[in-house]
A and B are shown apart, each in its own frame.
Chain A
Amino acid sequence: MKLKRTIHQVFAIAKTDFLGITRNKTAIFFTLLFPLFFLIIIGFTFGTQGTGETSRIHVGTVNFDGEMIVVNNTDSQNSTIGDDFVQALKDANFTVYEYSTYGDKDTNGTAAYDISRGQIKIAIVIPANFTEALSYQYTDSLGTPIPTKASLDLYTDPSDPTGSLIAQQSVFGFIFGFIDHYQSIVIGQLPESFRDYAKVLADPVTVSTSEADVSGRQLRWIDYMVPGTLGLVLLWSGLNHASVAIADERAKGTFQRMIIAPVSSITVLAGKFVSCLAIVYLSAVIMLATGVLLFQVNLYWNIPAIVLTVFLGALSAIGLGLVISSLAKNVQAADAITHLITVPLQFFIGAFFPLSIMPEPAQIFGEALPFTKLVYAMQGIMTKNLPFEAVIPEILYMTISGLILFTLGIIAYRLSLKRL
């Protein structure tokens, strides 16, 4: 009976708090839409780049393979492998522009001209002897093949280092794949006894990513970013809301009015917690749905693991918010402190940019944040399809951090009751 009454009270408080957000345009923006705004802006700017999304990479080819050259004192005009190469590029979904000459930046219709105009990010020049070299047509007078390398020339756009780098890496990936494929054909033609040596010789180090590149299965930035935005959700929907939830009601006097009703202060806290959680989950759903609908992210949906991970992360966010909410002098102060924390912190949790590109102190700081652990765990589960066991270290870290921060939150809250 008493428990039922308490539960009714908790939900009444949670519902009222929740309506306070959903009926207030500013609150909707900051607690629900702000992370979304980030996802969309950054998602559209960088998100769909990545070695896998090859169709966005505009590649120019200048295929001289079909030109007449002299091999072993005879004219040769074989373009088989060069043509295969270009065809494979197209098959790998690159957007391919074909040119008859590399040219220069002032001559319309040449590869160089299109690079300078940003039409293509990279040009591949295939030499005239491409097929001849790869098919061992160079021989000495006795007919023994002379090993001759086929050399490709790549030209990139220096005015767009990032775009060029991405294009270059994708093309490298493709070339490795192509070489791999070629090697296995050649090795297949060797006498049985040589094959195993040749395989090792050809591939002393196997680089498995190259294969993924060609297949177009490699993950895009956005595939990491969408689960990563759940870290933003914790900051903007969890921390941000929790930090004003109590300060705001204390300023309006509604908190005091709840306390003078036969409602224990812990019941009020529970109501606030339920509402904060509801907002976090609502925001998470909005974020993931946007990722799926707008950016077609392909994620793995281990729902119980996602729900649990977000819950543990929310403990830290809400706990920290409670500390701020309870100790801040007023709502404005609580709001200011929260923004001071949230705005810089969002760049350290690996949501937009991998921590590895940051300077070392920043990495150490970022790694220590429970929100970063959430980002890692979510990327592991949703993007990489790791089993739950693989993210146990992150889960443990978040659990401990959540318990500590939430306990601090409760202590701060209890202290604040003395200042009514």
Chain B
Amino acid sequence: MNLNDIEVKSVTRRFEDTVAVDNVSMNVARGELFGLLGPNGAGKSTLTKMLCGMINPTSGTIKVGGYNIQDHPMKVKELLGVVPQDIVLYDYMNARENLAFFGKLYGLSGGKLRNRIEELLIFTQLDEKAVKRRISTYSGGMKRRINIAAALLHEPQVILLDEPTAGLDPKNKLALWEIIRTLNKEGKTIMLTTHMMDEAEELCNQVAIMDKGKIIALGSPRQLTKKVKMENTITILPDKITSKLMEATQKISGVKSSYRAYDESEKIETLKIITERAEDILPDLVSAISSVGTKILSVELSRVTLEDVFISLTGRSLREEEEQV
């Protein structure tokens, strides 16, 4: 269990005047499903590119499977399966031809190559008809799956996926998560990058949060959310909001503040309660509301998410960053 498949030590990478990766150190243990979460421009792709030897670090050392990538680049490349952020396939060839090409690059040939291709076509659930058409005719989800299959032909121990679900609809996203989970269950060490907190939270057992080239938090999603002392919000939809109701809720101990909020999309007015102990004050809150003669139509408790962790650490949201880019 102390075996680390990826070891990154004080790695920095500069492009002219930008520091894309800034003195990053982190390990990924064998068998882990590791997520690198951060907004666009955080340096995730740059770190991934250094891990697979596409670009060199300006300083620092990287080991994959125990091999220093500078000293044993070919060894590291054999161990790694890399799924690039964009779909990188030859669109004038069909799925089988693409897989055969990438398989040959990894030294597979003959019957072994053919078997692996068939296995992966089954694994990625591409039907026989689609396999014979050129990649240019495939849907986004199909392309993504072949894009992943191309990295798996040589049965790598360590798999790097750069934003594997970016741009996919929910159905295809869930299907891809399932593929990633299956690979992890087979014993593969997986590191993926994402800017979607739900992906990191639900898929990964270790998460590093990256921002502006630095890793600002590292741990399991549970550890990370616990670390942050968060104010929770309880959203209540009452049948009517009166000043008596507002006074009553503010008197409850543990409530930091309460206010009326208009929900644009639902076209309703709600009551929001800010507190640090949502579960503890809920019974008092319910009795206080009924005591002023108001009925509760619905109650919603917000949970602490990795998004909240990111906000508490940086003061910005993951999404905002994305929209600016």
Residues B105 and A263 in contact, CB atoms below 8 Å apart: yes
Residue of A nearest to B86 (CB): A253
Instruction: Give the docked Cα–Cα distance between A323 and B77 (Å).
Output: 28
Q: Which of A5, A16, A259 contacts B90 (CB 8 A)?
A: A16
Instruction: Flag whether B65 is at the interface (Cβ < 8 A).
Output: no
Instruction: Give the docked Cα–Cα distance between A16 and B74 (Å).
Output: 22
Residues A262 and B101 in contact, CB atoms below 8 Å apart: no
Mask for A377-403, Cβ within 8 A of B = 1, else 0? 000000000000000000000000000
Which A residues are in CB contact (< 8 Å) with B55?
Answer: 420
Residue of A nearest to B160 (CB): A260
Q: Take A256-B54, A420-B54, A420-B55 as given contacts and tell me if A262 and B106 are in contact as well, using a CB distance cutoff of 8 Å.
A: yes
Residues A9 and B105 in contact, CB atoms below 8 Å apart: yes
Q: Which of B74, B93, B150 contacts A19 (CB 8 A)?
A: B93
Q: Which of A285-308 contact B (CB under 8 A)?
A: none
Q: Which of A12, A260, A263 contacts B80 (CB 8 A)?
A: A260
Instruction: Flag whether A261 is at the interface (Cβ < 8 A).
Output: yes
Q: How many residues of B contact A (CB 8 A)?
A: 27
Q: Distance in Å from the Cβ of A268 to the closest Cβ of chain B?
A: 9
Q: Distance in Å from the Cβ of B62 to the closest Cβ of chain A?
A: 13
Q: Which of A116-175 contact B (CB under 8 A)?
A: none
Residue of A nearest to B79 (CB): A262
Interface range on chain A: under 10, 10 to 19, 20 to 34, or 35 or more? Answer: 20 to 34
Residue of B nearest to A15 (CB): B101
Instruction: Flag whether B155 is at the interface (Cβ < 8 A).
Output: no
Which A residues are in CB contact (< 8 Å) with B86?
Answer: 253
Interface centre among A12, A16, A260, by most chain B C-beta atoms within 10 angstroms, is A260
Which A residues are in CB contact (< 8 Å) with B150?
Answer: 257
Which B residues are in CB contact (< 8 Å) with A19?
Answer: 90, 92-93, 97
Instruction: Give the docked Cα–Cα distance between A16 and B90 (Å).
Output: 8
Mask for B219-256, Cβ within 8 A of A = 1, else 0? 00000000000000000000000000000000000000
Residues B105 and A252 in contact, CB atoms below 8 Å apart: no
Q: Which of A332-388 contact B (CB under 8 A)?
A: none
Q: Distance in Å from the Cβ of A215 to the closest Cβ of chain B?
A: 53
Instruction: Give the docked Cα–Cα distance between A65 and B207 (Å).
Output: 109
Residues A256 and B88 in contact, CB atoms below 8 Å apart: yes
Instruction: Give the docked Cα–Cα distance between A262 and B88 (Å).
Output: 17
Which B residues are in CB contact (< 8 Å) with A20?
Answer: 90, 92
Which A residues are in CB contact (< 8 Å) with B102?
Answer: 257, 261
Mask for B75-111, Cβ within 8 A of A = 1, else 0? 0011010101010111011000100111011110100
Residues B107 and A5 in contact, CB atoms below 8 Å apart: yes
Residues B78 and A262 in contact, CB atoms below 8 Å apart: yes
Instruction: Flag whether B33 is at the interface (Cβ < 8 A).
Output: no
Mask for B182-208, Cβ within 8 A of A = 1, else 0? 000000000000000000000000000
Q: Take A9-B104, A12-B105, A16-B101 as given contacts and tell me if A260 and B77 are in contact as well, using a CB distance cutoff of 8 Å.
A: yes
Instruction: Give the docked Cα–Cα distance between A20 and B89 (Å).
Output: 12
Residues A253 and B84 in contact, CB atoms below 8 Å apart: yes
Residue of A nearest to B82 (CB): A260
Residue of A nearest to B106 (CB): A261
Q: Which of A1-52 contact B (CB under 8 A)?
A: 5, 8-9, 12-13, 15-16, 19-20, 23-24
Instruction: Give the docked Cα–Cα distance between A304 and B66 (Å).
Output: 52
Residue of A nearest to B77 (CB): A262
Instruction: Give the docked Cα–Cα distance between A258 and B52 (Å).
Output: 11
Instruction: Give the docked Cα–Cα distance between A395 and B104 (Å).
Output: 37
Instruction: Flag whether B53 is at the interface (Cβ < 8 A).
Output: yes
Instruction: Give the docked Cα–Cα distance between A9 and B77 (Å).
Output: 15
Q: Distance in Å from the Cβ of B64 to the closest Cβ of chain A?
A: 12
Which B residues are in CB contact (< 8 Å) with A9?
Answer: 104-105, 107
Q: Distance in Å from the Cβ of B72 to the closest Cβ of chain A?
A: 11
Instruction: Flag whether A184 is at the interface (Cβ < 8 A).
Output: no
Instruction: Give the docked Cα–Cα distance between A269 and B103 (Å).
Output: 18
Interface centre among A8, A23, A254, A257, by most chain B C-beta atoms within 10 angstroms, is A257
Q: Which of B78, B80, B84, B97 contacts A256 (CB 8 A)?
A: B84
Residues B52 and A260 in contact, CB atoms below 8 Å apart: yes
Residue of B nearest to A24 (CB): B92
Residue of A nearest to B109 (CB): A8
Mask for B100-139, Cβ within 8 A of A = 1, else 0? 1110111101000000000000000000000000000000
Q: Which of A23, A256, A258, A420 contacts B105 (CB 8 A)?
A: A258
Instruction: Give the docked Cα–Cα distance between A401 and B196 (Å).
Output: 55
Instruction: Give the docked Cα–Cα distance between A252 and B93 (Å).
Output: 14
A sample of 6 inter-chain contacts (CB < 8 A) reads: A9-B105, A9-B107, A20-B92, A254-B89, A257-B84, A264-B74
